Structure formats: structure tokens, C-alpha cells
Amino acid sequence: MTVLAVLVVLAAAVAWWSARRAGSAADFFAAGHAAGAWLVGLAGTAAALSAFTFVGGPGMFFAAGTGALWLIASAPVTGALQCWAVGEPVVALVARTGAVTLPELLGARHASRTVRAVAAVVIAIGCVASLAVQVRAVAVLGPVFLGVSGTAAAAAVMLATTLYMALGGMRAGLVADAVQGAVMAGAAVTLAVASLAAAGGPAAAVDAIARTKPQLLGAFGTLPPARALALFLLFCVGTCAQPHYVQKFLFLEDARQLRRLPAVLTLALALTLTVWIGVGIGGTALALDGRIAVAAPDDLSPRTMEHLGPWAVVLAGAGVLAAMMSTAASLLNLSAAALSRDLPAALGRPEGGLAGARLATLGVAAGATLLGLASERTVALLGIAGWGFFTAALLPATTVALALRVRPAALAAAMAVGGGVDLVLEAVRAGLPAGLEPGLAGAAAGLLILAVTPYRGASGECA
Amino acid sequence: MPPRVRLLAVLAAALLLALPVSPALAVAAVAAVPAFLVALAAATRRDARLVGVAVLLAAWHGAVVGAAYLSGGGRHGLPLVVLLLWGAPLPLFPWLYARTSPRARDGEPNP
């Protein structure tokens, strides 16, 4: 409870500091286009990684062994890949158009209000749903790591995040995200090292797993190889389509910041993901040696922390809170932008201004909190509209259509069809062959639509 | 969309859909799709060095995934994935980006 009270007070301080600095839409939605590589890299990594990194990831190693590592195996590549494929066109287009949101950027690139409207709808749906899932995760993990009821934990975390995001927008969010990113990285490395040390070191941990469940140590663990590789691809190319990743490129001061950004992104990502590997391997060894009792994969991380001691539970709680708040902050801002700025503009109506953005932030936060605390079935359905949905709907838009000119109607169709394919396939996921990922299939459909539609201009290059 | 990019986009989309069909197609998809995104940047920038990066990325991913298939279920699968896919390229691609970033290409002094 003390941790949550401190959290709300800190959030109020950040909100007070930033409220006076967010005086324009560019400040509120794009941090004033004034950020450097370190700030954007740390904040981008924090926004990208949710509590799954600290809890679900290690648990997945317990269940699938090396197969779980394919989700994060693209981390050394994704920072540079994002800058090559998305960052450079975004920064060039922002300099030319002054856009402050991704739908606005796509609309300006293709001189199309329809494109802007479809992108805004896709982002609003995906962000509100993902936000509700974050709320649910806080409610589930609150009792484990914070010792309070799930509802209290979810309400406090959303109150704190909404406070600084509604008043300061991304001026506040960027600074808070960067601090949270540093907390996550520090906590992750410490917990990973401690978990491996508790298991007798990396070699002893691997030996313990090899004695009891050697199938976990194969190249794909217990996952079918095609499924492991599809997850690798989904999380590799999918980084180029997540709006909370792409949004960070709009914050950059200028193109020179891009040069150092992949190094910062890769370093921050690699440090934070050590918790997935270290707690996964160390905790699994402890469980297989009978030193901790694990009933379900998601128990692995909490039981390992308890084995390490109260300091580890507190540190993991701080990491989980930082991960959730940073992800929620970006999702709040993106959905508020879509609802208060992009959709009205695309429909030819006056934009909501800063007051409208603040109201939209409050409305989205309240709605997502209620959705997240609703029935588990509702949340399970919302969980579908996450990473895969954004990959399916936005990958062709953020890569091909930001770099090259395409027919606006084709782009709008690619986003709508891609998202639709993902949702339909997710509904029948159990019957799909291993390796057919709905998010990738949706992205493929969108790419095909763009590729088969006639190219309209003579010069397709981004300015 | 220029014809070559159009062709690459169709190929990438086909490989994404064909990934479950066979191990060879799965390896090809992992090798080709991320490389397609770098090739897109090469086409946008008209920078031949990025074609080299795309080929390197495809070769790296193809080789590691191929090795993973060949390693079977033995205990050396874990270090193979951690060291070759995660550890070794960790500094490589940020360095390659810095070397090929637009300012470096134009010969301007570093910021």
C-alpha cells in the first residue's frame, strides 16, 4: 500500500511539472518534437515491454524451454530494423508535414482523410483493448507483488498514470517512461543474476534442467519449430507496426538522433530481457530441483522471487509496476489522440484541442479500467487485439506506405482487411496449423493488397 | 510501388503464409521477411550498402535457424539460440545502422 501511495504522489509531482510545459498539440502528443536518442530509446523500450516480460516470459520458459526464447531472439535486430524501415521515413515526413500523430502522418503522406480515419480507428480499438489487458494484469499481479487487492492495485496504477498523462501528455509521459525504463532494466538484471546464482550458476542450472526435462533445452524446446519461428517473425517485424513504438520516432528532435537510437534501444531491450532468460532458466532449475513449488507457468516468477527473499519481491513489484505504467501511458496517449484529434479531423469536424485530449485521456482511462476489471472472458477477447492485431493492420502502412506512395484506397483496405483477417483467425486459432500466426497472415494480406494495386505516382520515394 | 519492391512484397507475403508448410519454407520466411524491410529502406534511400545489410541479415537468420533445425532436440539448442541469435549480433546491427545512417553516408561529421 505504501508503494502505491508513493507512486500516486510521484505521479502528481510529474503531472504538476509537466502541465505547464504541455501548451500545444505537438507538446501533448509528440513531446514537442524535442527529444534525444537516449530519452526516446529508454522510453520506447519501457513502453514496449509490459509485465509479461517479468512474469509471463520466465513462465513460458518453464513450459516451453528454449522455444520461449524465440519470442525475444530478434531483440538484437529490432532497434536497427525499426530505424531503417520506419524511423527514417517518419522523421523525414514529420519535418515536412509537422504531423504529431501516426494517423495524421499517414493521412498527410497520402493526402487522404480516409487513410487517417481508418488508421485512427485501428489504433483506438487496439489501444483501448490493450489498455484493458494491462489493467487486468495489474489486478492479477497486485496481490502477488504489492500485497493489496487487485481492484485497489488497478485503480491506483491507472489513477497515477492518468494523472500525469491527462495533464502533461507525452511531455510527462516521455520523462516518466524513461525513468521507468531505467528501473525496469536495473530490476531485470539484478533479478536475473540473483535467480541464476540461486540455482548454482548458469551451468548448474542448465545441468539441473538437463537431468529432469532435457526436452526443454532443444533448439525449439517443446514448441513445434514452425510455431517458434512464427513467433520469432511476429515479434521481429511486428516491432515496426506497434503504434507505441512508432510514436516515439515522432518525438525525435531531428534525423541526427536516429544514428544512436538503435544502440540505445538494443542496450535497453537486452538488459531488460535478461529477466526473461535469467529468471526463466534459474527459476526452472529451482522448480525442477524441488526447491520451489510451481503449479502453473505464471507461478514461476513469483515463487522464484519469494525464494530469493523480500527484497526480490519488492524489486520485481517495482519492475512490474514500471512496465505496466509505461505501456499504459503510451496507449492512453495514442487512443486519446485518435479519438480527440484524428477522427474529428478525418470526419471534417473541429479537433478537440488540448481540453478535448485531456477529456479523452480521462474517458479512455475510465473505460479501459472498467473493461479490464470486467469478466475474464471479456478480457480474454480484448487480449486478441494486441501485438498481432497491430502487426496485421499496420505493418504494411508503417513500412511500405510510409516509405513509398501507394493508392490511398488500397492502403485503407490493407489496414482494414489486415486487422479483420487477424481477428477472424484469432477466433479459430485452435484449428490453425502450427506456424500460421494470425498477425502475420493479416500483414501478408495487407502487403498483397498494396502490391497488386497499381502504383499511382512517378516518384515513390519519401522526401 | 516500384516493380522490384512489388515483387519483394509479394514474395514476403507468400512466405509469411507458407511458413507452416515445410521447414525449408519456414527458414526462408525467417531469412527473407526482416531482410525485405531493410531492402525497402535500400530502395527508398537508393543506398546500395543497405542491400548488403539485407543480404547479411537474411544469411545470418537463415544460417542460425537452419542450424537450429539440424541440432534437433539436444541440450546444445539453448546455447545455440542464446549465443548465436541473441548474443553475437547484439552489437552488430546497431553498429551497422550507425555506419549506414544517412548522415554517415553523406560524409557529414557526427553530431
Taking the C-alpha atoms of B22, B25, B30 and B33 in order, what is their torsion angle to the nearest 10 degrees? -140
CB distance A237–B85 less than 8 Å?
no
| Partners of residue B102 in chain A, C-beta under 8 Å | 88, 255, 258
In contact, A189 and A274? CB cutoff 8 Å: yes
Of the residues B19, B56, B110, the best mutation for testing chain A's interface (the one with the most A CB atoms within 10 Å of its CB) is B19
The predicted structure's pLDDT at residue A65:
93
| Partners of residue A84 in chain B, C-beta under 8 Å | 37-38, 41, 50, 53, 97
Measuring CA to CA, which residue among A352, A449, A444 is closest to residue A408? A449
Tell me the three cell numbers of residue A16.
Answer: 504538476
Chain B's closest residue to A264, CA to CA, is B94
Tell me the three cell numbers of residue A187.
Answer: 530490476
Amino acid A108 reads A
| Partners of residue B17 in chain A, C-beta under 8 Å | 436, 440-441, 444
pLDDT in tens, A214-232: 999 988 999 999 999 999 9
- Please list, in sequence order, all residues whose beta carbon lies within 8 angstroms of the beta carbon of residue A153, skipping any fewer than 6 positions away: A4, A138, A139, A141, A142, A143, A146
Measuring CA to CA, which residue among B40, B80, B90 is closest to residue A84? B40
Alpha carbon of A421 to those of A118, A166, A385, A414: distances in Å? Answer: 15, 34, 12, 10
- Indicate the angle between helix axes A150-198 and A37-48, nearest 10 degrees: 100
What's the complex ipTM? 0.91
Chain A's closest residue to B43, CA to CA, is A461
Query: Dihedrals φ, ψ of A294, to 5°?
Result: -125, 115
Q: For residues A371-387, give the mean pLDDT.
A: 70
A152 touches chain B (CB under 8 A): no
Cβ pairs A/B, distance under 8 A: 210
| Partners of residue A266 in chain B, C-beta under 8 Å | 90-91, 93-94
Q: For residues A142-163, give the mean pLDDT.
A: 86
Determine the Cα–Cα distance for residues A123 and A104; give it in Å rounded to an integer: 12
Within 10 angstroms of residue A433's Cβ, the number of other Cβ atoms is 11
| Cell 485531456 -> residue | A358
- SS3 at position A271: helix
pLDDT in tens, A289-328: 999 999 988 889 999 999 999 999 989 988 988 888 999 9
| Partners of residue A404 in chain B, C-beta under 8 Å | 1-2, 5, 40, 43-44
CB distance B41–A85 less than 8 Å?
yes
| Partners of residue A434 in chain B, C-beta under 8 Å | 20
In contact, A440 and A391? CB cutoff 8 Å: yes
- Please list, in sequence order, all residues whose beta carbon lies within 8 angstroms of the beta carbon of residue A175, skipping any fewer than 6 positions away: A14, A18, A39, A43
A255 touches chain B (CB under 8 A): yes
CB distance B104–A259 less than 8 Å?
yes
CB distance A219–B9 less than 8 Å?
no
CB distance B94–A441 less than 8 Å?
no
Q: How confident is the model at residue A142 (pLDDT cuts 50, 70, 90)?
A: confident
Determine the Cα–Cα distance for residues A445 and B92; give it in Å rounded to an integer: 32
CB distance A80–B85 less than 8 Å?
no
3-state helix, strand, coil in chain B (%, to 5): 80, 0, 20
Using alpha carbons only, what angle is made at residue A14 by residues A8 and A18, rounded to the nearest 5 degrees? 145
CB distance A441–B17 less than 8 Å?
yes
- SS3 at position A424: helix
Determine the Cα–Cα distance for residues A358 and A17; give it in Å rounded to an integer: 16
pLDDT in tens, B64-89: 888 888 876 666 777 777 776 677 77
In contact, A280 and A61? CB cutoff 8 Å: yes
| Partners of residue A447 in chain B, C-beta under 8 Å | 9-10, 12-13, 16
- Please list, in sequence order, all residues whose beta carbon lies within 8 angstroms of the beta carbon of residue A155, skipping any fewer than 6 positions away: A369
A463 touches chain B (CB under 8 A): no
Asked if residue A288 has pLDDT above 70, the reply is yes
In contact, B30 and B67? CB cutoff 8 Å: no
A237 touches chain B (CB under 8 A): yes
pLDDT in tens, A83-134: 999 999 999 999 999 999 999 999 999 999 999 999 999 999 999 988 988 8
Q: How confident is the model at residue A244 (pLDDT cuts 50, 70, 90)?
A: very high
- SS3 at position A425: helix
Element at A211 (helix H, strand E): helix A202-212
| DSSP at B108 | P
